[in-house]
Amino acid sequence: MKQKIFLLFLSALPFFAMAQKKITVSGYVKDVKTGEALISASVYISNEKRGTTTNSYGFYSISVTQADSIGIVISYQGYTPQLFTVSGFTDQTLDYNLLEKPNDLNEVIVSSARNNNNISKVRMSVINIPMKQIKALPAIAGETDILKILQLLPGVQSGKEGTTGFYVRGGNSDQNLVQLDEATVYNPNHLFGLFSTFNTNAINSVTLIKGGFPAQYGGRLSSILDVTMKEGNKKKFSGEGGIGTISVNLTLEGPIKKNKSSYIISARRTFFDLITKTVIPKNKNNTTYSFYDINGKVNFELGKKDKLYLSFFTGLDDAKYAGASSLNYKINFGNSTAIARWNHLFNNKLFSNTSFIYNDYHLSLLTTQDKYYSQLYTGIKDVNFKTDFSYFPSSSHSIKAGFNYAYSTLFPSTTSAKVPRSGNINKPNLDSIEKQYSSIVAFYINDDITVSEKLGTSLGVRVPVFIKSDITYTTVEPRATIKYQLDDATSIKVAYTIMNQFQHLVPSSTASLPTDIWISSSRIVKPQTSQQIALGLFKNFKDNVYEASIEGYYKTMNNQVLFKEGAQSIQQTAIDTKLTFGNGQSYGAELFVKKNAGKLTGWVSYTLSWAYQQFDSLNYGKQFPFAYDKRHNLSIVAILDLTKKWTLSAAFVFTSGGAYTLPTGRAGVYGDGSLYDGTYNDYTARNNYRYRDYNRLDLSARYHWASKIFGKKYQSELVISVYNIYNRSNPYFIYLTKDPVTKNIKVIQVSLLPIIPGISYNFKF
Amino acid sequence: MKYPLHIFLVTVIFISFGCEKTITIKQQPYQSKLSIQGLITPNQKPQVYLNRTVPYFDPKVNTRELTIDNATVSLNDGISTFTLSFDSLYNYHYCQYDYFYSSPKVIQPNKTYMLAVIYNGVTYNATATTNQFKSAVTSISYTHKFKDLYGEHEGIIVGYTDKTGIGDYYRYEMGRMIDSSVKSVNAVKSSCTFGQKYYVKEIGRTIYPDKNVDGLAVTFVFEPNYSHKKDDTAYIRLQTVDKNISDFYDNLDRQKLAQFNPFVEPVFIIPGQFGDKAIGVFGAYAVSDSVLFIYPE
């Protein structure tokens, strides 16, 4: 039945694309100073009161009814909007260059030109965060970070402090597809999750999609975080860098051939390890930490219709931590990606991109706690080939279609037991880990249809096929979003999506540390599937200065994976046999109010949500709260451009405590059961207790100034930041101790991050 | 430059040393249940331990506080019913009394017994049949280093031959005379015996089913509970337990493993013979003849 609907949909597309007396206006929108593509810039046709946005390469194409002249407004947040009038008789290829606004020009915006993409676009549950705003937000130890800012958005929950990952609309952290230039980043974190692997100086744009997923995205249930690297300055050699409390970074970029090709190279490294080596004697140095990441990209214009992009990213973390008395761990993990992309413009209505992506990820973790250890190794190697076409046949249609083939090799291994008396824990033998080979082939097509001035829809379907030696899963994922615009400042939208996921991170819901491990779908491990419906009301005020939205969602998730009760591997055996499978559901409401312009900008985000799971073999088969079921989640973010030189920012976060499991009763063991420690526990429900509520306030002050060195102009910035300014002891994890004689039980809460002051100096030339 | 360096050092210290503090958790409402542990074996007096479960953070830990002494406990062997009376034995290692219900009437082989516990007007019933075969220990040796789910530990290797036919379950039993210099694995020493020797009996946590080894010669390694010296002696026996005992104590064993290892998901107690009304077991077992073991180190 699903296949029939799909075929019907495909056959109907040409009828939608009926030709009229139209011309096509197409081109690129770029930064005037650097030539950098501006992604998701608004291109608005004032004659027809409608518009489009640029794609990931800054390209746009829109069909317009023939006219003597056409008014075009180009806008992008943080840039001065521009109004153009062009001839409307023939097709036009028009590249536009926008100028970044200086800090003091926030007020001088032509109100009609401030875009209302959040109202007019069919997409919902999508948030674009301008890099300028990211860089202005409070820093931790002098470093601004994308993931920390994501966690301030509605529907996004942070994990425990010091652990990796974020959680979107009740989904586990593995259900987020994090992409850097289309390459999957399996672990986007540095420093126990304090920072992401994304160096803000090398990033062009960040988009988070939580629902209403367009068909070009697949492979994850809960969200897409699409991060695009800068292309490099095509106009002149330039650079920026900085030194913070724990790291130093440098980015250099410039033209290879002016206005035609460019490069960018960006590197960041901690010096924490170098300092601790000198300050603490080697034999007492139980806490060391180092990370680095390097981003590089070159791009070439191969004529007017072809562009080639070559980029890479590599990052590594290596840490040894001896923190709370019960806890030690050693971790080493890294992501490396290499990407080649070729853009081809067939004509002004058909744009294509072909990508070849190589990805290598590994994580090796050894944790000891309470005389027990957990050792895991998880590795993933992906080779990915994809081709995407964007076709703009008429003013009513914007069609995307594509094909994707990915070949993955996963190396999962996990062992856990009591620490041997010798204290020596053998490293896993990587050659003996059973490898999991699989392929995914996916096809998709998506059409953004403008039915009328008020009504728009985005319809799509994705067909992924998962292939493993002994099993094949073929699934069909319909996607639909409908927008009805009540007026220029108000719209309502509804979205329905089905998603599938073939790679799974098996979480340990009770362990205090990230002992999660990636595995592939198999005959035993069925693909995770989700259905999500979201409904939203979007309203802008005061000429789009204020954006507000309220979204409700309901999501079901099948074939969720958890470890069985008591599952413990003392040897590297098939992990599949240690797993149990169940379902999940989540629902909630998200309120978002954002101020885009003025001296004071920022947002308030509040999420009220519920997330539950049900596994036949867990919790007596009854439903239980998801570990990250946090009822209330409030974020308040403010950025104040106090003067031309001073910018102040603050971020306050409050979240309800996550869930964890403790026994509710206990009983004695008699009859010479001395090895039972004298008691056994009566668990009445899983995840029955809650951590203490989490809250913290971060502050940051930035001082900017310009200076000249050897006649060359430099911009400098001093950032003073304080993380967790009132030094709240937020819970990291909880463990129990029992006196062997009195049998009295004590509950110990471990907190990781107290007040952390930071200072950094940044420069740009 | 001095100021940023100070800030850096403070940061290093904060990040290096996480903060631990004892907190109070509000106990969730908990409906106390009956805990019944009654094991019977031929030619021995029955012993039924009857306790109340308490909220996890309840300060009551003493056996006297947890024991139920006002229940009516009886056994029916199909012919007659006899009542068990409240009794106790002193536990010299933990220096407290263990309380149970017992009867002077010994258990007979190849009989089905029905346990009836009447407490607060509710009757709890379960049956057990004493038809387990008496196995034999065929070999005993010692290893000072062995690695299994419980970690790396010393071990006593016990050999036996499984009886043909699936459905047999085994666990070890060891009796020793010890004194107050001996520690149990949880580091407890007797504080009330003052050098005087006393008898301890320990029973293995692990249940060994005959799945995949039916009818074969088998060995397993167990970790003794009490510390020892060279030439200390002990008597080792092998219990053949019924399925009810196997299920309940295997469940407890897996729970203990998960409780000690923070990287393992918690294990819930599965409702057994008494359903949701009470936790516990009523089962039968047979014991092999004892074999002398002398610690070689």
CB-based contact B263 A367, cutoff 8 Å: yes
User: At residue B236, does pLDDT exceed 80?
Assistant: yes
Whether residues A617 and A698 share a domain: the answer is: yes
pLDDT, position A281: 61
User: At residue A647, does pLDDT exceed 60?
Assistant: yes
Whether residues A303 and A337 share a domain: the answer is: yes
If you measure CA to CA, which chain B residue comes closest to A718? B4
CA pseudo-torsion sign A117, A480, A588, A149: negative
Q: How large is the average pLDDT for residues B125-129?
A: 96
A276 at interface of B, judged by CB pairs closer than 8 A: yes
Whether residues A432 and A289 share a domain: the answer is: yes
What residues of chain A, 220 to 259, have a C-beta less than 8 Å from chain B? Answer: 245-246
Q: Tens of pLDDT along A431-464?
A: 778 888 999 999 999 999 989 889 999 999 999 9
Q: How large is the average pLDDT for residues A403-413?
A: 92
**CATH number of A87's domain:** 2.60.40.1120
Residue after which a domain boundary falls, among A96, A115, A134: A115
- Predicted confidence band at A270 (pLDDT cuts at 50, 70, 90)? confident
pLDDT, position A329: 75
Q: Is pLDDT larger for residue A28 or for residue A20?
A: A28
Q: Is pLDDT larger for residue A48 or for residue A508?
A: A48
DSSP state for residue A331 in the 8-state scheme: E
Whether residues A409 and A446 share a domain: the answer is: yes
CB-based contact A566 B35, cutoff 8 Å: no
Q: Tens of pLDDT along B154-175?
A: 889 999 999 999 889 999 999 9
CB-based contact A742 B150, cutoff 8 Å: no
Q: How large is the average pLDDT for residues A177-182?
A: 91
| A667 domain residue, yes or no | no
- Predicted confidence band at A114 (pLDDT cuts at 50, 70, 90)? low
A664 at interface of B, judged by CB pairs closer than 8 A: yes
CA atoms of A101 and A596, how far apart (whole Å):
13
**Over chain A, what is the mean pLDDT?**
85
CB-based contact A680 B151, cutoff 8 Å: no
Distance from CA of A158 to the nearest CA of B (A): 19
Q: Tens of pLDDT along B194-228?
A: 889 999 988 888 899 998 899 999 999 988 888 89
CA atoms of A276 and A318, how far apart (whole Å):
14
Sequence letter at residue A160: K
| A546 domain residue, yes or no | yes
Residue after which a domain boundary falls, among A60, A86, A115: A115
Chain A residues closer than 8 Å to B51 by CB: 667-668, 670
pLDDT, position B158: 94
Q: Tens of pLDDT along A516-543?
A: 688 899 999 999 999 999 999 999 998 8
- Predicted confidence band at B186 (pLDDT cuts at 50, 70, 90)? confident
Whether residues A111 and A135 share a domain: the answer is: no
If you measure CA to CA, which chain A residue comes closest to B97? A670
User: At residue A572, does pLDDT exceed 90?
Assistant: no
Which H helix or E strand runs over A274? helix A272-279
Whether residues A401 and A458 share a domain: the answer is: yes
User: At residue B296, does pLDDT exceed 60?
Assistant: yes
Least confident of A147-161, B131-145, B192-206: A147-161
Whether residues A233 and A256 share a domain: the answer is: yes
pLDDT, position A286: 65
For residues A254-280, one letter each, b for 16 or more C-beta atoms within 10 angstroms of the residue's C-beta and e for the rest, the string is bbeeeeebbbbbbbbbbebbeebeeee
If you measure CA to CA, which chain A residue comes closest to B92? A672
| A514 domain residue, yes or no | yes
Q: Is pLDDT larger for residue A142 or for residue B72?
A: B72
Interface test with A, best of B186, B264, B274 (most A CBs within 10 A): B264
Sequence letter at residue A428: P
Whether residues A595 and A639 share a domain: the answer is: yes
Residues 6+ apart with CB under 8 A from A426: none
- pLDDT above 70 coverage of chain A, percent: 89
What are the angstrom distances between the C-alpha of A619 and each of A625, A654, A661, A680, B270? 11, 29, 10, 17, 10
pLDDT, position A761: 92
What are the angstrom distances between the C-alpha of A8 and each of A80, A200, A451, A526, B287? 45, 44, 19, 29, 74
pLDDT, position A337: 94
Least confident of A583-587, B13-17, B57-61, B246-250: B13-17
Whether residues A499 and A620 share a domain: the answer is: yes
Q: Tens of pLDDT along A1-10?
A: 555 554 444 4
Q: How large is the average pLDDT for residues A592-599?
A: 90
Q: Least CB-CB distance to A416: which of B12, B145, B263?
A: B263
Chain A residues closer than 8 Å to B152 by CB: 418, 420-422
Interface test with B, best of A326, A568, A682 (most B CBs within 10 A): A682
CB-based contact A684 B33, cutoff 8 Å: no
- Predicted confidence band at B6 (pLDDT cuts at 50, 70, 90)? very low
| A727 domain residue, yes or no | yes
CB-based contact A667 B53, cutoff 8 Å: yes
Cα distance between the two ends of chain B: 62
Chain B residues closer than 8 Å to A674 by CB: 93, 184-186, 200, 202, 225
Distance from CA of B4 to the nearest CA of A (A): 7
**CATH number of A497's domain:** 2.40.170.20
pLDDT, position A192: 66
Residues 6+ apart with CB under 8 A from B29: none
Q: How large is the average pLDDT for residues A474-484?
A: 96
A509 at interface of B, judged by CB pairs closer than 8 A: yes
| A232 domain residue, yes or no | yes
pLDDT, position A324: 56
Least confident of A187-201, A565-579, A645-659, B67-81: A565-579
| A614 domain residue, yes or no | yes
If you measure CA to CA, which chain B residue comes closest to A272? B12
Interface test with A, best of B2, B7, B15, B36 (most A CBs within 10 A): B15
Distance from CA of B111 to the nearest CA of A (A): 22
Q: Tens of pLDDT along A208-230?
A: 999 999 999 999 999 999 999 89
Tokens 């914007």 map to which residue?
A: A398
Whether residues A149 and A274 share a domain: the answer is: yes
- Predicted confidence band at A111 (pLDDT cuts at 50, 70, 90)? very low
pLDDT, position A105: 42
SS3 A204: strand
CA atoms of A617 and A564, how far apart (whole Å):
8
pLDDT, position A330: 81
Residue after which a domain boundary falls, among A60, A84, A115: A115
At what angle are helices A272-279 and B2-16 packed, to 10 degrees? 90
* Residue span of the structural domain in which A146 resides: 126-657+692-764
Model ipTM value: 0.87
| A51 domain residue, yes or no | yes
Residues 6+ apart with CB under 8 A from A655: A157, A158, A630, A632, A633, A634, A693, A694, A695
Q: Which range has the top average pLDDT, A127-141, A498-512, A693-707?
A: A693-707
Whether residues A72 and A180 share a domain: the answer is: no
User: At residue B238, does pLDDT exceed 50?
Assistant: yes
Kindly state the tokens that stand for A309.
């992009």
Chain A residues closer than 8 Å to B225 by CB: 674-675
pLDDT, position B4: 40
What residues of chain A, 16 to 35, have a C-beta less than 8 Å from chain B? Answer: none
Least confident of A46-50, B188-192, B278-282: A46-50
Q: How large is the average pLDDT for residues A259-277?
A: 85
User: At residue A384, does pLDDT exceed 90?
Assistant: yes
pLDDT, position A109: 42
**Over chain B, what is the mean pLDDT?**
88
Q: Tens of pLDDT along A739-748?
A: 766 777 888 8
| A679 domain residue, yes or no | no
Interface test with A, best of B191, B265, B267 (most A CBs within 10 A): B265
pLDDT, position A455: 93
Whether residues A164 and A97 share a domain: the answer is: no
Number of structural domains (chain A) is 2
Q: Is pLDDT larger for residue B167 or for residue A129?
A: B167
pLDDT, position A672: 62
CB-based contact A675 B225, cutoff 8 Å: yes
- The CA R_g of chain B, rounded to the nearest whole Å, is 23
If you measure CA to CA, which chain A residue comes closest to B57? A745
CA atoms of A343 and A182, how far apart (whole Å):
14
pLDDT, position A326: 62
